[in-house]
Structure formats: structure tokens, C-alpha cells
Amino acid sequence: MYKTDIPTTFPKDFLWGGATAANQVEGGWNLDGKGLTTAEVVQKATDRLHFRRTPVTADSIAVAVADKTDTLYPKRRGIDFYHHYQEDIALFAEMGFKAFRLSISWARIFPKGDDAEPNEAGLRFYDAVFAECRRHGIEPVVTISHFETPLGLTLKQNGWASRATIEAFLRYTAVLFNRYKGIVKYWLTFNEINAIQNGTTGTGAVDADLPLAEKAQLRFQALHHQFVASARAVQQAHAIDPAAKVGCMLARMQTYPKTADPEDVRAAQFADQLNLFYTDVQARGEYPEYMNRFFSENRVQLVLAPDDEEILRQGTVDFISFSYYMSMVASPALNVTQFQEGFALGEKNPYLPASAWGWQIDPVGLRISLNEMWDRYRLPLFVVENGLGAEDEVTTDGKIHDDYRIDYLRGHIAQMKEAIRDGVQLMGYTTWGPIDLISASTSEMSKRYGFIYVDQDDDGNGTLARLRKDSFYWYQQVIQSNGENL
């Protein structure tokens, strides 16, 4: 029916906040029984402008496991949230956060991934973190798997390449849903599930030495296992806690044609399909037809168990979350590269500025994506990552004047408001890295996103002191005015 009561701004219960991941903030990599994860055997990227990381191989893992320090592996130290969580959550509360998105480290709960019993000390850490959130009236939004697989599962069965990892995951999720029933309402199964394109980060499988065709086969099979695991986790969560809401999570890449040439427009449409395919499966409950053609042309042959299709149909998500940092310009090369070698930045868009890391800044693209995804899925949307990675300078007065970050965020929030006026149902907005943390792609500390500065350099030197940046006070009044004062 035609509606006249179009919302003009953010809903009253809008979830304003910030988002982090265990392996980028916690540190304490070997404390209280925690096992190693795939994130903690990755060295710093050699090329800082590149998404690509130093490849993980059987040899590099053996060297990393033997190394008991955190010098070469920054995700082992994070920003020591493990010991600073009270102070950090208090700072989030001071900004007025309604929500804090964080992830649980599977290897804190099951150190090898599939141990006989969960590790009580690991659970106690998250008990304390959630209690702290609740004390401040902050809603936790929890990612179950954010770019880290227990290394035990990688060594034993090559992570998600093995179907057996589904069962290990469901034992882990059962522990979480039971323990945090009534405490955590919003869950995300896999962070940026399309990161399987990047290999080990997404799949927990070592595949760097495989020929391209075999890599594609392994990654899509691993992805299929994640789809099944995610769908079963949705059902499991609902059975254990009917109030729980479970979402999927995609790295959204809004893609534009290079020109109005229909071939370019088709290239952009195809790039968009390759990006949205993951959400098609998780929100609609089946593989879209266009992927059949893609799979057959790329000689990918998925192995499905008899019940898999039914499981996907039954386990569709309650809401859709995604990260949004930039947009892309399509080129046939981009589609190929993304599927063979992981994320690539693609062609330069002459209308857009870019960050120091080459990410093209495009607030209007967020409005376009929100509209497109709302039209396509008709499920509530949640922007769970957005932000500007930049090198900040502490001035002599001890301040950080990050007006560039404020400009970036202001632009994107304004476009979210437009999308809401377009009729899009948007649940919330958690900016990436509200406190500076270790970069996912480069493992650098100096690529900062925070409202809160952390005194630590790329080599781990620093006092770890937390300082409020100018953007801290700005975001505080954005939340206070429910998005009216930008």
C-alpha cells in the first residue's frame, strides 16, 4: 500500500556504536588457555598499499608456532583490550554508544577448535566484557567468527576445506548461545563471508601453493561449508533463544560501470552479482542461478550433502549486516582478480577522492547500496563497519585533530539518513575501529580508524595510553542528537 508516513530521520532505537574484532584488539594471545588462531601466524604485510598479505604456508605456520613472541605477529598483541576492556568500554559509553560490535575468539573457548570441553577461563573473559557493556547500557553485537580459525583446525583438517569443521563450529556456537542467552541478542555468523576470496583469512585453509583452479575449488567448497554452518547456527540460536537475531555479514563493494557502454554496464552488473551472491544464499536460502554458470565456467564443482539445500532454505538470516568503505569501478580484470587473488582496488574513479591506502571514498555509494540491498532482500540492514584509515598525528598539546575522519563519517551518516528517507529499514551503524587497532589487511598499527587514539607504533612500542581525538567529541554529539547534528 502507498505509505505517507515516511521516516525523516534515524529511528529512536537506532544502534549507534563501533565495531572491533578479537584478533585486532585483544592481545593476550596465549593467556588463560587460549589457543593460536590463523590471524596470529600472519606477519605484517610487505606492501602497505596492497590488500594481499604474506601468504600463509605450512612452512610459515611452523615458523610462527615455534616463535613464542609477538614481535613479528602484531595480531598477538592487539591493543591489549584483554586488560583494558573496562577502560575502553567506559570510553565508548562516554561517547554514548548504544551498541558495541565485537567478536569472540573461538580459540579462547575451544583452544584447538574441537576440544572435548570448552575453556571456562576463556568464557569468563567474555562474561566480564558483556557485563561491562550491560552496566553501561550498551547492546553487544557479537561476531562469532571474524577472520580467525583456531589453528588446531587448520593443522588437523585444513580449516573450512573440511566438512568436519561444521560440527566443530556448531559445538562452539551452542556453547555461546546457551551461555549468553538473554545477554547477547544480536549475532553475526561470519565476518565478511566473501573474504574466502582472500584464502586463509576467510577459509582457515592453507592454499597458497595450489594452482588457481584448485584454489577456486577449495575456497568455494570451504564457503559452502560456512553457508551450511551459518544456516544451522541460525536455527540453533532460534531454538536456544527465541529472542536472538542472527545476521550475515558481507564486505559490500558497490560497483559502477566505467562508461555507459552496455558492455561496461554488464561488467558492473556481474561484479555486483559476484559480490551479492553470498547474501543471496544467506538471505534467500539458495544459490542464485547466475552462480551455476560462474561455477561451471570456472570448473568449480561443489560437493553438497543430501540435506544441504534444505538447511540453507531453513536457515535464512534475520537481518543483513555489511561493511562499507569504498566503491569500485568494474573492469573484466577486476572480476577475475578478485576471484583468483583476493580483493583488488580496481580502476580509478575520477570523481572520487581516495584514502592514503587507495580506498575510494564514496558516501553516495552507501546510499545506493542500501537502496539496492533493501530492494533485493526486504530485510533490516545494519552497517556494521565504515570508517577512514588514516595516519594520525598527536600535536604538541596532546590532541589529535582528525577533521578528515569527521568529514568521512559525516558524509556517510548523511547518506544513511537519505536512505532511511528513501524507505530503507536500517537498524544501526557501528563504525570500524572506534578505538585504534591493528589493521586486518596490513597488520599495521599506524592505519588508524579510531575516535580514541592508542599510543602504540607498528613495532609495538608505546604506553598503550588512550587519548580522545577531536572525532570523539564529534561522534558523541552525533549520537546525542540521534544523527541530527552532523
Please report, as ranges, the residues that interact with ligand BGP according to CB under 6 A: 21, 24, 147, 191-192, 251, 323, 385, 389, 432, 439-442, 447
Shorter beta-carbon distance to ligand BGP: residue 280 or 385: 385
User: Smallest distance, Å, CB 24 to ligand BGP?
Assistant: 6
User: Smallest distance, Å, CB 457 to ligand BGP?
Assistant: 16
Please give the C-alpha separations between residue 151 and each of 72, 225, 290, 415, 439, in angstroms, as whole numbers. Answer: 17, 17, 34, 40, 20
User: Rounded to whole angstroms, how far apart are CA atoms 174 and 168?
Assistant: 10
> What angle do the packed helices 289-297 and 262-279 form, to 10 degrees?
100
User: Smallest distance, Å, CB 357 to ligand BGP?
Assistant: 7
User: Smallest distance, Å, CB 134 to ligand BGP?
Assistant: 25
What burial letters (b/e) apply to 33-47, b meaning 16+ CB within 10 Å?
Answer: ebbbbbbbbbbbbee
Q: Residue 288: how many CB atoms within 10 A of its CB? A: 13
User: Rounded to whole angstroms, how far apart are CA atoms 483 and 3?
Assistant: 24
Q: Catalytic: which of 139, 148, 192, 385?
A: 385
* DSSP of 398-426: S----HHHHHHHHHHHHHHHHHHHHT--E
167 catalytically annotated:
no
Please give the C-alpha separations between residue 60 and each of 137, 149, 211, in angstroms, as whole numbers. Answer: 43, 16, 19
Shorter beta-carbon distance to ligand BGP: residue 70 or 418: 70
Shorter beta-carbon distance to ligand BGP: residue 16 or 51: 51
Do residues 124 and 81 touch, judged by C-beta distance below 8 A? no
Amino acid 120 reads E
- In the DSSP assignment, the letter for residue 174 is H
Shorter beta-carbon distance to ligand BGP: residue 146 or 417: 146
User: Smallest distance, Å, CB 394 to ligand BGP?
Assistant: 20
User: Smallest distance, Å, CB 150 to ligand BGP?
Assistant: 18
Do residues 149 and 159 touch, judged by C-beta distance below 8 A? yes
| 428: its cell numbers | 544501526
Shorter beta-carbon distance to ligand BGP: residue 50 or 156: 50
Shorter beta-carbon distance to ligand BGP: residue 24 or 415: 24
Query: What is the set of active-site residues?
Result: 385
